[in-house]
A and B are shown apart, each in its own frame.
Chain A
Amino acid sequence: MNSSLKKFGQGLLVLLLASSFIALGIWQLQRAQDMQKSSTIAVDTQIYPLTSLASPTGSIPPESIGKIVSSSGHYIANFKAPNQKDGKGRVADWEVALLQNETDTAILVVRGLWKDRLANPDIVMSTSVEITGILLPHQNDDRAENTPQQLSRLDSSLLTGITDMQLYDGFILEQNESTRASATVRPRISAPVLTSGVPGFYLQHISYVVIWWLMALVILWLPFYSRRGNRIDS
């Protein structure tokens, strides 16, 4: 009776462990697929109002990512975002501003390269601006240290301590900017390659799928393993 109970317990444990490893493999497979999906975004040249594609209360819907949006308001803060990589693979420091919309909401806007920030001295905090740009999700990885003047990554959650406004998740990569007087002329940044937000790489996740499922197989094989013959190891 005791022996049957012990075997039942062992069998249950083996099944539990094996199913956990299989589930972990499926989870890694899902992450690998998420990474692949993110690289296929349809081209859409229509300009949408920011409020129609995103709201400040939640994250940016996946279908809104990469769309061209328009917004207007005042720049209320300026930051340096070091070591940012554009679509052409060039790494540089970017100028990022916090744009307060007409309401009590704000969104991060990448205006251009940090070295070009003094090209348009006429835009001050009181100047009303209208912008269009590509809506992108927040970054997950830090590129530098976070300080009051510098953003470690393009992520509005870094600013929750310095403003009471509702902040949009993600940021706008500016393509055009105009004031009541004129359009701003400065070199713009090409859109960086989008990643899924899942850390790691596709092939890395696939290798983890193989590892977890291999471990599941090992666990299922263990009950049948016996050290027949002369035992060498102790």
Chain B
Amino acid sequence: MSTNLDLKQTEKASYRLAAYADGTADLSLGLVFILLGLYPLSRAAFGPDWNMLFFLAVLGLIVLIQSLVKKRLGAARIGIVKFGARVKNRVRISLLITVALSALMIATWALAARGWFPSTPKWLGSYGFEILVSLIVLVIMWGMAYSLDLKRYYLYGVLLAVCFPLQAFLPIDEGAPFLAAGAIITVSGTVLLTRFLKAFPAVGESEGSND
């Protein structure tokens, strides 16, 4: 038992337990990148327009399943916590930054796909787009890792950021780096979820009060 008076660390520990201890966030992230890895295959199967719809539908399904699983697991095993205005504001600002950066990334992607990406400095060669997207992914993931002391997110950031240049530089199947990174993160999430289920049994307050 620790008597930690560092309130920032205590706050982070509370948030980590409530939001990241069960591994469902990792599982969702991994599945999203597997979905990105399968994007070329689904594009070939459905065509570009239907593929985008398919992508968004599966993405929505992943988010929905994650929130349902989290709700079902969380209350019985972790308990219920309400955070104060300070934490809520921080989460809102982080989400806003993530959404803004993601929008920038998607816009860049869309422009590059149509050949409208502006010419990049000579020293970057023709890989300006890949480098920009990698940097955005790295900033989002490392920002999360730093603000919540989630060390595994530093690794996830590197894994996901290298996907874009790898795909551009190496003669490999389109989507393969995303599939590999997504699979690694999904395995990590599965391990976390398994550990979580063992470490936090579903014990009701009345049942546990006899010890």
A and B assemble together: no
Name B's A-contacting residues (CB within 8 A). Answer: none
Chain A: residues with CB nearer than 8 A to chain B?
A: none
